[in-house]
Structure 1
Amino acid sequence: MIEAGEESMKKVWESLSNSGTQEEAYPDNPRTDIRGMFSFQPKRILDIGCGLGAVSGTIKHDFPETFAWGCELNPITADVAQTRLDKVSRSPMEAWGGDELELLKSVDTVLLLDVLEHMYNPWSTLQILREHLPEHAQVIVSLPNCANIHIFHELANGFWHYKPAGVLDVTHIRFFTQYEMQKMFYETRFKVARQAYPYFLPYIQEDRVFPFWFGGESMQVHVKDQSHWESLNAVQIYFNLVTAYDEQLNEEELMLKHGRHPETLS
């Protein structure tokens, strides 16, 4: 039975504008934890999907010699970022002209923090970066992991519940598992130098003997080892990417880059 007033509650899709973006305020989060993924202290940053400029703006505040360049498509948000950063581009990378592409050659660090899943073609963005970044550059990526236990459980019960934020954010266009993230990176000619799981579901705290079956009446997952268990409990995954040639890749990495996708039922 619907309680009085419930029928007037705002639906999550009602927060979307005609462009597919949310009308809600952008979070002003400096995300200082992402600095643990740096291989070196950035001197010239490109922050794609910079929002209000909190992340790269805070780095610039802490290290004033840093050049901080943001890319933000929301004009109101970009205006705020402009007060914090040295430069803000307001068009997608695919539309950049010669000056911006030339400037990209001087960047040593790119931030792609929960932005690739909002793009229709994230592969194209990564290809442009690979073509124009200097060889020593690092690319820091944060992506939500749709292959976590909670999502499996909801799917087993017939749900794919869009939310205002999180893994099933209603503005997400692309959804990735850890394998699909890695394959996207290698196919666009990057190499994973480091990865980390910043947020775990509570099950990870329980002692386990591998392998084992995990789940309930609607779902059972065969957990192979500790690494598999960590990936199933990871809500988000961080990556440090570097450019790499085939001769710098091992056999498994070469398969990710050149091999066919494993056969699936779908």
Structure 2
Amino acid sequence: MYLWESHLDISHNPSEHDRYTDQARSNLVDMFSSPRKFVLEIGCSTGATGRYCKEKFPDAVYWGIEPNQDAAKIASTRVDHVLVGLSDDFVLSEQGVGLGQIDGVILADVIEHMYNPWKALASLKPYLASNAEIVTSIPNVRSIWLLNEIASGRFTYLDQGLLDITHIRFFTWKEIVDMMQQCGYQIDFLTYGVDERLWATYQNYKNILPSTVEYENVAVKQVKDENDLLELCSLQYYSRAILIP
């Protein structure tokens, strides 16, 4: 069976369900600057992250949105409420969410799967409290590993990672910042998820910048500082955004 045959129908697909991790994304929950009262996770998978969040913030109400029916069924036993479908399928006010009620949003490796993530982010704003925080994990298309794949004539879709066959949007860090600003948010915290394949590259160059950074068939000129190097060596970005005042 080809990859496209087994991985592109996510609504009720056992082979797709096998790809879902049951591990909490605790690093994203830990990015909230203070306890949250009402958290919405878009793409909540099996609810492991929600369970961790409710353990950390016992007074929090936690809702999830999840298109995979099998994963959503498990999540519904762990969090307060799960909407089964895509975020575009729901008007939150019709589901019982009040304006200004949500003070925490988690998008863990989900924005890249959306046809229109800009609309999804903008449509959340009326439901956000003034102190709301949005935490995201977004893959990094500027990865020097991926640049090398392209330079070597490959863009081979896989079942996970940067070339996950279900990805339909691709972002550099600059484009993530621009997307957030266009939707009414500003990023106030960033940390890098360095790719294990690129850890040696990062270590080799971090103390000799500015420099040309080489990786197999690719050389990137004028890498100016450590943040620039981290962009090239990261698998994904973890960031937190707040409403633009």
Give TM-score, length-normalised by structure 1: 0.82
**Cα offset, 1:38, TM superposition:** 1.3
1:94 offset after TM fit, Å? 2.9
Cα distance change of structure 1 residues 226 and 194 upon mapping to structure 2, 3 Å threshold: same
The SS at the match of 1:137 is strand
Amino acid in the other structure paired with 2:175: E
Cα deviation digits, residues 3-23 of structure 1 (max 9, x gap): xxxxxxx54323224469862
Q: CA deviation at 1:36?
A: 3.3
1:142 aligns with 2:137: yes
Residue identity in the other structure for 2:48? A
Q: CA deviation at 1:35?
A: 3.1
Aligned to 1:196: 191
Look up the match of 2:7.
16
Residue 255 of structure 1 corresponds to none
One-letter code aligned to 2:7: L
Inter-partner Cα distance in structure 1 for 2:215 and 2:241: 37
Instruction: Tell me by how many angstroms 1:217 deviates.
Output: 6.9
Is 1:36 matched up with 2:8? no
Correspondence 1:1-80 to 2 at 5 A: 10-18=1-9, 23-25=16-18, 26-80=20-74
- State the alpha-carbon separation in 1 of the partners of residues 99 and 168 from structure 2: 26
CA RMSD across the alignment: 2.0
Is 1:164 matched with 2:159?
Answer: yes
Give the one of 85, 88, 91 matched to 1:94. 88
Deviates more, 1:168-177 or 1:210-219: 210-219
Pairing partner for 1:205 from 203, 206, 223: 203
Tell me, yes or no, if the aligned pair for 1:101 and 1:132 is still in contact at 8 Å. Answer: no
- Tell me by how many angstroms 1:218 deviates: 3.3
* Contact 2:194/2:230 (8 A) holds in 1: no
Gaps of 5+ in 1: 1-9, 246-266
Quick one: which amino acid aligns to residue 211 of structure 2?
Answer: F
SS at match of 1:136: strand
Deviation at 1:104, TM superposition (A): 5.7
Cα distance between partner residues in 2 of 1:219 and 1:17: 32
Q: Is the 8 A contact 1:148 1:235 kept in 2?
A: yes
Report what 1:237 is aligned to. 237
Q: Secondary structure at the match of 2:102?
A: coil
Amino acid in structure 2 at the alignment position of 1:230: L
Structure-2 change in CA distance of 1:87 and 1:104 (3 Å): farther
1:169-227 deviation line (CA, Å, top 9, x unaligned) = 11111111111111111111100011111334211122432221122573220112221
Report how far residue 46 of structure 1 moved: 0.5
CA distance in 2, matches of 1:208, 1:115: 34
For the residue of structure 2 that corresponds to 1:186, the secondary structure is helix
Which ranges in structure 2 are unaligned for 5 or more consecutive residues? none
User: What is the match of residue 228 of structure 2?
Assistant: 228
Offset, 1:72: 0.7
Q: Return the match for 1:151 from 146, 153, 163.
A: 146
The range that moved more, 218-227 or 66-75, is 218-227
Deviations 1:74-107, CA, capped at 9 Å, x for gaps = 1221111111111111233333233337436311
- Determine which structure has the larger strand proportion and give its number: 2
Q: Is the 8 A contact 1:15 1:24 kept in 2?
A: no
TM-score (norm 2): 0.88
